Chain A
Amino acid sequence: MATKKTTTKTSNDSAKPKPKSKAAKDRDLRTLDQIEKLAEGAWRAVNKRQNPALDIRVRALSNVSFNQKKRIIELGDKTQSREFFNIAMARKFMQTFLVADKCRELIAADKTITIRQMYYLSKHTVKGTNENTFEEQSESDPIIEDLEVGVDALREELHLYANKKGLVAGPLTVNDTGDEIDLTRMGRGGWGIPSICESDVLQFKKCKAEFVLLVEKVAVWQRLNEDRFWQKHNCILMTSEGQAARGIRRFLQRLATELKLPVYVLVDNDPWGLYIYSVLKQGSINLAYESMRMAVPNVRFIGMSASDYEKFKLTSAVEIKLTKEDIARAEQMKAYPWFADKKWQKEIDGILKNGFKMEVDSFLTKSVTFIAEEYLPKKLRDRDFLQ
């Protein structure tokens, strides 16, 4: 195993490459062992003229449950056998071991790549055909997730990460692989949240913030950042840029648990916005196996609520008619056990009753600074949020 590691992401001449910790080395060895076991199982089956198979835990609603006590979504034990001698599965079987082998290579060489790079690394034409091992990244991403579950390793343990997504600014200083970063000095752009935010690479140093505000939209974040909202209200201002990626969720959970900061979330008033909040709160179906280290059960839904229409005297100009898909999604969400609570049923019904959805940006019908100066202060003052 390599003793030195050059970070692939930030290259800072003055910073020394961080030596790999023993814990990290052990983790790599464990992951390699798991991959080997998976391959060994397949080999043994075929050696006995049997159908080699992988047991993949089912990542679907049918195999997740809502843990009332921990208030997170957990993955069940239901597995699906991925067999090679099955025309519906042969290709995926092949892809799974292809990715497994490439991950083994990465770990052995101590390199880290993005999931997109993994797509290219494992993409080639199948001999004698015009078929590629992977045609789209959308094909390789779920295979990676399958492998994570299959070898019981986290994505970073497979030496993979996603593109950074999400921005942060505020009175917080972090250390990212040896670099001290003062998040009050991030200018207009903010700091991009890395895909991997584990404590061995990222540590919180100084924090003066009293709470965290996460907004769904980059545009809203920029508006608030320009108004120095985080300074005025002494908070950490984040955006998930839509559905929250794993880096943001891990980052947020650590803020909530390590720094004990309350977290507020501002999303659009539609089923999709509500679901972004829900994923932050209790995890997602697809990544239910990651809920433990990502979910923030105490996260607070500050808005935008269906009731804000009247509360803030918005006009019909902000209404966007619900589509068939919106309504279907809302109904679907009402059936999720983690939305079973009356207050959530009421919130979702509010959208359905309105018959329209609203974007946070629609407060600009009031004024440019309405969100920063009227809406959020009032909501925080009134403790007008759901949890």
Chain B
Amino acid sequence: MAKSKSQAEPNDVSRARGATAKGRAAPARDTEDSIAPASGPARRASAETMATRQREISVSEFFTKNRHLLGFDNPAKALLTTVKEAVDNSLDACEEAGILPEIIVEIVELSAGNGPSAPGKFRVAIEDNGPGIVKPQIPKIFAKLLYGSKFHRLKQSRGQQGIGISAAGLYGQLTTGKPVTIISKTGKGRPAFKIELRIDTKRNQPDVVAEETVEWTSMNAEGAHEEKVHGTRVEIELVAAYRGGRTGVDAYLEQTVVANPHLALIYLPPKAEKIIYPRVSNELPREAQEIKPHPHGIELGMLLHMLQDSPTKTVKQVLMDDFSRVSSSVAEEICKVAKVPPKSKAEGIHGEAVERLHKALGEVKVMAPPATAVVPIGEDLLIAGLKRRFNAEFYSSTTRPPAVYRGNPFVVEVGLAYGGDLPMDETAEIMRFANRVPLQYQPKACAISESVYDTNWKAYELAQPKGSLPIGPLAIVVHLASVWVPFTSEAKEAVAHYDDLLKEMRLAIQECGRKLGSHLRARAKAESEYKRLSIFQRYIPEVSASLGNILGRSKDDIAKLFEKALPNFVNVAEATNPPPVPPTGGDGGSPAAAVTATDTETKTEAKSAKKKSKIKVTDPAADAKTKGKSKTKKPEQLSLPES
């Protein structure tokens, strides 16, 4: 409607202007009609005929056409996303139920692909030992998009929208025509249901194709088969491509294992041996507390909803009930700044008053949101996780105290693994995690990568070509835990560049880096002492022999004198206990070798990396100051593991 009008207007400005006064639609059409024969394009459809074609778009239909938005751009990524969504769901469910997760990931190649134009067909099955799902909910969870428990609350979890797993099922359905198969059991003595589901893409409704009760036996962590007590298994057939490298399923699982030391994982890859990752920690992550939105992070639209949802409450009550950290006095302060009477009814707040209120919410000083809402991995467990994947010489980790961006509490953690089997001459491997979920795509667009790039690694005795990653046998884990992780897109591939986040990441990396630096310096010193010692020891017999000959004394006695004098010139204790010298050069067999695989993404991302390197490196003084502050700052709110 508006579109056809704008096409007409420039042709007859005066009449169009006159039309605005009277009312738009009818005169405008007159205008169009009158001038159409002269110069305008021929009329194609009327508002009425157009109206017949206007109808609701189902979310499923939307997805069908925009699958890239959710991570199903190509067959390789589709496989990863499918596994990832299912595993993330399983982990969330287990943790919420207080169960130590035990997950089986099985990928079977049903028919081989033939190049990128003809990808193969796979069956992906993910099975957990979670609480199971009650039967009526199964269809909705797995075959209805935008259905979930996580969207409506502010609570740290892996999944956020409740779109992932059903999208995976839909993708499978679209590419193979096969329904999704779910088996779920909620406890001992209860039946296990096996349900085949299809999504009615027009109505965004689940369609139960078949359902039955089954006997469910499964593999346990030791690989033996036994009756399943509780859990859920989802099987999806899909057209996909199985690839290695940084963006592959293998990398995802390897990294997941690092960030989830409490996870026992059995992985049955296509055409390869089963891999078992036994659990390394029996400590379940503390349950994240659900929190209300914090005044500093609220958006205008959300505020409007909150006011409308409680029409009979006063503004003050809404502020106090629906926001975290808003006390009676804080609420009054907000009202005062916004020039809104605290006792006025919420439904009565409109227009500019809402905007003033929104502005006041951002300005008034409010206590930081409770950090109990954020659950970091913890320094010890992060190292335990790193040890699952790397056989390194040195590990360090740092869990920062909780901080806040836009009213959302978050914690940054960094872990480093250095030396050992890691490849010597390659660039460091970065593993990015958001709420324990590995981020594998778009590294160059991610705030986490930027913080690693912007760190001066030379200060920690590592080689670092200008503006790039440090080089050496190093793996870097950066974990961002937050109630709401700000991704750059719905595909949840990269963390957005918020200054508060970047600052914490940098501080965490620096803290960890300093530990590595002092380790490497100590090692270099020990090595140099070792070298000194070995030089002196090499020449002592020679000199002793010469002196012995000249003086007519026993050369052994003289050598003993030299050995006794040695400690005055070399730190023998340090020198005789040199740390293991890292192996020379990249041996392809090391676990980290997998990340070097080239990816088409890398090239395009390289360009964008240059743009972002403006952010200053934090100066050491400021660094130290914040560090000092952090010690006194609210550790009591958090039950962080003691480091």
Asked if A36 is at the interface of the complex by the 8 Å CB criterion, the answer is yes
Asked if A85 is at the interface of the complex by the 8 Å CB criterion, the answer is yes
B545: nearest chain-A partner, CB-CB: A101
Choose one: B539, B547, B568; the contact of A39 (CB below 8 Å). B547
Choose one: A46, A98, A127, A131; the contact of B562 (CB below 8 Å). A46
Taking the nearest CB of chain B, how far is it from the CB of A172, in angstroms? 42
Q: Does A43 contact B558, Cβ atoms closer than 8 Å?
A: yes
Q: Does B536 contact A84, Cβ atoms closer than 8 Å?
A: yes
User: Using a CB-CB cutoff of 8 Å, which residues 296-355 of chain B contact chain A?
Assistant: none
Q: Does B538 contact A126, Cβ atoms closer than 8 Å?
A: yes
Asked if A158 is at the interface of the complex by the 8 Å CB criterion, the answer is no
User: Using a CB-CB cutoff of 8 Å, which residues 91-111 of chain A contact chain B?
Assistant: 91, 93-94, 97-98, 100-101, 104-105
Q: Does A97 contact B562, Cβ atoms closer than 8 Å?
A: no
Task: State A98–B536 Cα separation when bound (angstroms).
Answer: 15
Which of B255-263, B548-556, B625-633 lies at the binding interface? B548-556
Residues in B with CB closer than 8 Å to A67 are none
User: Using a CB-CB cutoff of 8 Å, which residues 503-549 of chain B contact chain A?
Assistant: 531-532, 535-536, 538-539, 541-543, 545-547, 549
Are A42 and B547 CB-contacts (below 8 A) given A51-B569, A87-B532, A131-B538?
yes
Task: State A104–B495 Cα separation when bound (angstroms).
Answer: 77
Taking the nearest CB of chain B, how far is it from the CB of A196, in angstroms? 24
Are A85 and B561 CB-contacts (below 8 A) given A36-B551, A97-B543?
no
**A22-43 interface code vs B (CB 8 A; 1 in, 0 out):** 0000000000000110111011
Task: State A50–B569 Cα separation when bound (angstroms).
Answer: 9
Q: Does B546 contact A97, Cβ atoms closer than 8 Å?
A: yes
B528: nearest chain-A partner, CB-CB: A87
Residues in B with CB closer than 8 Å to A100 are 546, 550
Residues in B with CB closer than 8 Å to A40 are 551
Q: Does A85 contact B569, Cβ atoms closer than 8 Å?
A: yes
Are A98 and B550 CB-contacts (below 8 A) given A46-B562, A50-B565, A85-B565?
no
Q: Does A39 contact B569, Cβ atoms closer than 8 Å?
A: no
Residues in A with CB closer than 8 Å to B561 are 43, 46-47
Taking the nearest CB of chain A, how far is it from the CB of B109, in angstroms? 54
Asked if B564 is at the interface of the complex by the 8 Å CB criterion, the answer is yes
A95: nearest chain-B partner, CB-CB: B542
A97: nearest chain-B partner, CB-CB: B546
Are A87 and B535 CB-contacts (below 8 A) given A39-B550, A51-B569, A101-B546?
yes
- How many residues on the B side are at the interface (Cβ–Cβ under 8 A)? 25
Asked if A61 is at the interface of the complex by the 8 Å CB criterion, the answer is no
Task: State A288–B197 Cα separation when bound (angstroms).
Answer: 101
Asked if A11 is at the interface of the complex by the 8 Å CB criterion, the answer is no
Task: State A97–B542 Cα separation when bound (angstroms).
Answer: 9
B568: nearest chain-A partner, CB-CB: A49
Taking the nearest CB of chain A, how far is it from the CB of B24, in angstroms? 88
Residues in B with CB closer than 8 Å to A10 are none
A102: nearest chain-B partner, CB-CB: B546
Task: State A91–B539 Cα separation when bound (angstroms).
Answer: 7
Max chain A C-beta neighbours (<10 A), residue from B531, B538, B545, B550: B550
Q: Does A104 contact B539, Cβ atoms closer than 8 Å?
A: no
Q: Does B542 contact A98, Cβ atoms closer than 8 Å?
A: yes
Q: Does A101 contact B550, Cβ atoms closer than 8 Å?
A: yes
Residues in A with CB closer than 8 Å to B549 are 101, 104-105
Asked if A186 is at the interface of the complex by the 8 Å CB criterion, the answer is no
Asked if A328 is at the interface of the complex by the 8 Å CB criterion, the answer is no
Asked if A128 is at the interface of the complex by the 8 Å CB criterion, the answer is yes
Residues in A with CB closer than 8 Å to B542 are 94, 98, 126-127, 133
Task: State A365–B566 Cα separation when bound (angstroms).
Answer: 68
User: Using a CB-CB cutoff of 8 Å, which residues 113-135 of chain A contact chain B?
Assistant: 126-129, 131, 133
Asked if A90 is at the interface of the complex by the 8 Å CB criterion, the answer is yes
Residues in B with CB closer than 8 Å to A85 are 536, 565-566, 568-570
Task: State A127–B544 Cα separation when bound (angstroms).
Answer: 13
Q: Does A90 contact B565, Cβ atoms closer than 8 Å?
A: no
Task: State A98–B539 Cα separation when bound (angstroms).
Answer: 11
Residues in A with CB closer than 8 Å to B565 are 46, 49-51, 85
Q: Does A84 contact B564, Cβ atoms closer than 8 Å?
A: no
Taking the nearest CB of chain B, how far is it from the CB of A148, in angstroms? 17
Say which size band chain A's interface belongs to. 20 to 34
Q: Does A93 contact B553, Cβ atoms closer than 8 Å?
A: no
Task: State A93–B561 Cα separation when bound (angstroms).
Answer: 16
Residues in B with CB closer than 8 Å to A50 are 565, 568
Residues in B with CB closer than 8 Å to A36 are 550-551
Residues in A with CB closer than 8 Å to B531 are 87
Task: State A135–B68 Cα separation when bound (angstroms).
Answer: 68
Task: State A35–B549 Cα separation when bound (angstroms).
Answer: 11
Taking the nearest CB of chain A, how far is it from the CB of B531, in angstroms? 7
Task: State A87–B532 Cα separation when bound (angstroms).
Answer: 6
Task: State A87–B529 Cα separation when bound (angstroms).
Answer: 10
Residues in B with CB closer than 8 Å to A49 are 564-565, 568
Task: State A97–B543 Cα separation when bound (angstroms).
Answer: 7
Task: State A51–B543 Cα separation when bound (angstroms).
Answer: 13
Residues in A with CB closer than 8 Å to B539 are 84, 90-91, 93-94, 126
Q: Does B564 contact A97, Cβ atoms closer than 8 Å?
A: no
Choose one: B535, B541, B546, B553; the contact of A127 (CB below 8 Å). B541
Max chain A C-beta neighbours (<10 A), residue from B561, B564, B565: B565
Residues in A with CB closer than 8 Å to B570 are 85
Task: State A91–B546 Cα separation when bound (angstroms).
Answer: 13
Task: State A39–B549 Cα separation when bound (angstroms).
Answer: 10
Task: State A43–B550 Cα separation when bound (angstroms).
Answer: 11
Are A46 and B558 CB-contacts (below 8 A) given A39-B551, A97-B550?
yes
Choose one: B532, B543, B553; the contact of A94 (CB below 8 Å). B543
Q: Does A129 contact B538, Cβ atoms closer than 8 Å?
A: yes
Q: Does A93 contact B543, Cβ atoms closer than 8 Å?
A: yes
Residues in A with CB closer than 8 Å to B564 are 49
User: Using a CB-CB cutoff of 8 Å, which residues 549-589 of chain B contact chain A?
Assistant: 549-551, 553, 558, 561-562, 564-566, 568-570
Task: State A121–B79 Cα separation when bound (angstroms).
Answer: 74
Q: Does B550 contact A104, Cβ atoms closer than 8 Å?
A: yes
Task: State A90–B565 Cα separation when bound (angstroms).
Answer: 14
Task: State A43–B547 Cα separation when bound (angstroms).
Answer: 7
Residues in B with CB closer than 8 Å to A39 are 546-547, 550-551
A45: nearest chain-B partner, CB-CB: B565
Are A43 and B536 CB-contacts (below 8 A) given A51-B569, A85-B565, A98-B546?
no
Task: State A47–B558 Cα separation when bound (angstroms).
Answer: 8
Residues in B with CB closer than 8 Å to A51 are 565, 568-569
Max chain B C-beta neighbours (<10 A), residue from A39, A51, A105, A129: A39
**A290-331 interface code vs B (CB 8 A; 1 in, 0 out):** 000000000000000000000000000000000000000000
Taking the nearest CB of chain A, how far is it from the CB of B294, in angstroms? 61
Choose one: A35, A46, A128, A133; the contact of B550 (CB below 8 Å). A35
Residues in A with CB closer than 8 Å to B538 are 126, 128-129, 131
Residues in B with CB closer than 8 Å to A84 are 536, 539, 543, 562
Taking the nearest CB of chain B, how far is it from the CB of A30, in angstroms? 15
Residues in A with CB closer than 8 Å to B562 are 46, 84
Taking the nearest CB of chain A, how far is it from the CB of B533, in angstroms? 10
Residues in B with CB closer than 8 Å to A43 are 547, 551, 553, 558, 561
B542: nearest chain-A partner, CB-CB: A94
User: Using a CB-CB cutoff of 8 Å, which residues 46-92 of chain A contact chain B?
Assistant: 46-47, 49-51, 84-85, 87, 90-91
Closest 5 CB pairs of A and B: A85-B569, A97-B546, A39-B550, A101-B546, A94-B539
16 more contacts with CB within 8 A, not counting A46-B565, A85-B536, are A35-B550, A39-B550, A43-B551, A43-B558, A46-B561, A50-B568, A51-B565, A84-B543, A87-B535, A87-B536, A94-B539, A97-B547, A98-B546, A101-B550, A105-B549, A128-B538
22 contacts between A and B (CB under 8 A): A36-B550, A39-B550, A40-B551, A43-B558, A47-B561, A50-B568, A51-B565, A85-B565, A85-B568, A87-B535, A93-B539, A93-B543, A94-B542, A97-B543, A97-B547, A100-B546, A101-B547, A101-B549, A126-B538, A127-B542, A128-B538, A131-B538
Could you tell me which B residues sit within 8 Å of A by CB distance? 531-532, 535-536, 538-539, 541-543, 545-547, 549-551, 553, 558, 561-562, 564-566, 568-570
